[in-house]
Amino acid sequence: MYEAVMIAATGLTNQQRRLDTIADNIANVNVMGFRASRLDFKDALYTAGIVPAAPRTPDGNQQKGHGVATAAITRDSKQGSLIETGGQLDFAIEGDGFFELTDSGGGRLYTRGGNFYFSNFEDGLALVSANGYFVNDADGNAIIAPHGTNSVAVSEDGELSFQTPDGETARARLGIHSFRNVMGLNAAGSGNYTVSDISGEMLAAEDSRVVQGFLENSNTDLAREMTLMIRSQRAFSLASRALTTADDMEQIANNLRK
């Protein structure tokens, strides 16, 4: 009877994790470049028992399960829809790849969110992300535009051109990278990711195109998430009912001696 309680408890625990994952996807529906996650289940450890009246062979074994467990949390890598903004410093990537950023501690971050801004810096105007992190060029250095830059253009391969009123032109190339195992990147918040041991080798994003004046929206599918939420709530309710039933049965067994 106690095992029935534990099995029902695994259902409650893992459905709660699934609801938490869905809530995170919905909460980030307006975060540019956000990648939705999905929680997958698997059946938990099985115990083999022998049927007394049957021969002691694999066919005579009774397999008793012990509930459900989390198999993996995978990230949806499909591209989100592109939203036209018209901003000169709004960039979207069509295809694979991530923009490279440097945070305040010198760490490297990777993002699909291309809503960038200019920030005054010692040698010019630094191109920064919405969080204030430096946007890196192809060599891993911060992109600095000349003071007075009033026009920015970008080619499909990520080459930036900065124009000033006196006709000066400066150029830089956006650092756009991909990874052998994109699913292995660690989430760092605000649609940013960091490299992990399983993300694999960093590669040049060859099949990508930079689009100016557009931003990539979150790829969260609200209709799908709401459907999954309803299913998870029903499954949570069923596991809760199984837990209550097991507890009632145990209470009846305990009262038999009275």
Q: Note down pLDDT in tens along the chain; length 258 residues.
A: 578 888 888 999 999 999 999 999 999 999 999 999 999 888 877 666 666 666 666 555 567 778 888 888 888 888 999 999 999 999 999 999 999 999 989 999 999 999 999 999 888 999 999 999 999 999 999 999 999 898 999 999 999 999 988 877 899 999 999 998 888 899 898 889 999 999 988 888 878 999 999 999 999 999 999 999 999 999 999 999 998 888 888 888 878 765
Tell me the two tokens of residue 84: 């036209």
Interatomic CA distance for residues 31 and 25, integer angstroms? 10
Smallest CA-to-CA distance from 33 within 103, 102, 81 is with 81
Largest CA-CA distance found in the chain, in angstroms, rounded: 97
Interatomic CA distance for residues 229 and 223, integer angstroms? 10
Considering just the CA atoms, what is the radius of gyration of the chain in Å? 26
Q: What is the pTM of this model?
A: 0.81
Helix (H, G, I), strand (E, B) or coil at 87: coil
Contacts of 27 (CB under 8 A, 6+ apart): none
Tell me the two tokens of residue 176: 């756009």
Interatomic CA distance for residues 128 and 91, integer angstroms? 12
